[in-house]
Amino acid sequence: MRILLLCSSFNGLTQRAWLELRRAGHDVSVELALSEQVMLEAAQLAKPDLVICPFLKEKVPSRLWRTQRTIIIHPGPPGDRGPSSLDWAILDAEPEWGVTALQAVEEMDAGPIWGYRTFPMPAEPPRKSALYNGPVADAAVELVLEVAAKAADPSFLPTPLDYGRPEVRGRLRPGMRHADRQFSWNEPTDAVLRRVRAADGAPGGRALLCDLPVRVFDVYRGPALSGPPGTVAGRREGAVLVHTGDGTVWVGHLRRDEPGAVKLPAATVLGEHLATAGEVSGYSEITYDRGEHVGVLSFDFYNGAMSTDQCRRLASALRYAAAQDTRVLVVRGGEVFSNGIHLNVIEAARHPEMEAWMNINAINQVCRQIIECTGQLVVTSLGGNAGAGGVMMGLGADRVLIREGVVLNPHYRTMGLFGSEYWTYVLPRRVGAATARRLTRDALPIGAPEALATGLADVVLPGPRLDFERAVLAEAERLAQDPGYEAMLAAKREGREQDELRKPLDAYRVEELAEMSRDMFDDRHGFRAARQAFVLKHKPEATPEHLAAHRDLVGGSGAPATVASHM
């Protein structure tokens, strides 16, 4: 079928839906729902058999849903309605939640039901972003495929919304207000965690800290220390430890509650207010666990962004891990594996271009540590999405293991950058020069099956992230005890030596940085505007050029957009 995806942004969920529908053989085009007129014109041009809205904040125009079958993917169980579904689910400690596919009608979220999925909610309050990118996205993608299959069946009729049915347990909930996100540090730790995590990603919990009105993100349970609630007990690696009513919480990120403010590491936002706060232990973004044969270096950077400081710490940890006498080193990312350099920290710096330059040089050191680790076999564990330099960082390993459902964006073009991280070495080495050119030129997402088929990944493993990580560890143990281990390690060393003789890593680095200096300092491809649009959440002016152009290539109609925006 011809399917039009209408979305507020081409986010991770929309990318997965796009990939899965294309994999199922459908002709899929994408349009950002920038206005009622844009949505109507997109449908007129694409002439779809079906319109699916996997992530849509805007109301579908009545002229569209009256003439085209339009299905909304709503992040709530049957009967749930309203724009803050996940926020309320976390805040109210719902034991079960779900996702519903429903047909668009005049009343928001009240249309006939095409299908639904439910899943248990964790006892520990999840971050809204983790809930959305995990069980919600998994259920939504299943529903998108189910909807496409049902749409092809002329006998299928959706089920009208009926609150008398036992499976319809949701209700209409209001949009969450500023007051609903406000909390006091006098509250118990559990209440603080739930309030902040219900707003994590955006817009954040609201509180006062060091007499500053702030938005609070990225919180973790701290030790049971006593102290005046709302005071800072210490700091570590950019995070601050704050007293609550019955203990402490680590706060990783803050944003001043004022227009134009940028979300940054908490210690950066508080700045001089932390003059008397000392370094304390108990929090680390980077850990190393050593077994008999396998060492696991884990890093978990918020939203996958890696600042200069974080890159330097990770490079140091990699040097330590590579010096151990284990046989296999697993390099494991967090909820998001990595998205490369930290655009928020760069934008907030006094000299953004210089900070970007330091950041790219620091992340290059991380990538080089992985490539040059010849005393062990290296496995990268991609249990979360990755983009730009984060993909290239993972490709430096001997084995790349990726979780089913993960989306990779192995390109830099939409941010106006040539790219570094030794991508001109590691990408063609895995996929060949022609495919490397295509991936970086087209700037389109790649799913796990495509990553396996092209050579970006060696193994795809199913299951939720914890199951995936256990499977990766088992694979690493198997590799460490493989009878051919010594031969594999010898071949790795020889291959690295031959590659270095053919063209030294320093040559790749110098060539890439020469291009990056023109992008960062001369701004030849719009890096400054793309970075600001991303950091400050500017609304795009049109569907990005690379998506619009692809729409033409796959058979959709309409001219490519003339204004490109990074998402």
Taking only the tens place, the pLDDT of each residue in 451-472 is: 999 999 999 999 999 999 999 9
Task: Fill in the amino acid letter for 359.
Answer: N
User: pLDDT (tens digit, 9 = 90+) per residue, 45-59?
Assistant: 999 999 999 999 999
Can you count the helices (H) and strands (E) in the chain? Answer: 21, 21
Q: What is the pLDDT of residue 550?
A: 55
Question: Cβ(70)–Cβ(101) under 8 Å?
Answer: no
- The stretch 81-95 carries a mean pLDDT of 97
Can you give the pTM of this predicted structure?
0.94
pLDDT of 553 strictly over 80: no
Q: What is the pLDDT of residue 547?
A: 86
Q: What is the pLDDT of residue 546?
A: 81
The per-residue b/e assignment along 286-311, b for 16 or more CB within 10 angstroms, e otherwise, is bebeeeebbbbbbbbbbbbbbbbbbb
The per-residue b/e assignment along 31-49, b for 16 or more CB within 10 angstroms, e otherwise, is bbbbeeebbeebbebbebb
Question: Cβ(525)–Cβ(515) under 8 Å?
Answer: no
pLDDT of 556 strictly over 80: no
CA distance readout (Å), 30 to 11, 34, 144, 297, 401: 12, 12, 14, 38, 29
Give the contacts of 271 (CB within 8 A, at least 6 positions apart): none
User: pLDDT (tens digit, 9 = 90+) per residue, 132-191?
Assistant: 999 999 999 999 999 999 999 999 999 999 999 999 999 999 999 999 999 999 999 999
Q: How far apart are CA 168 and CA 395, in angstroms?
A: 46
Give the contacts of 435 (CB within 8 A, at least 6 positions apart): 454, 455
Pairing of strands 446-447, 386-387: unpaired
User: pLDDT (tens digit, 9 = 90+) per residue, 401-420?
Assistant: 999 999 999 999 999 999 99
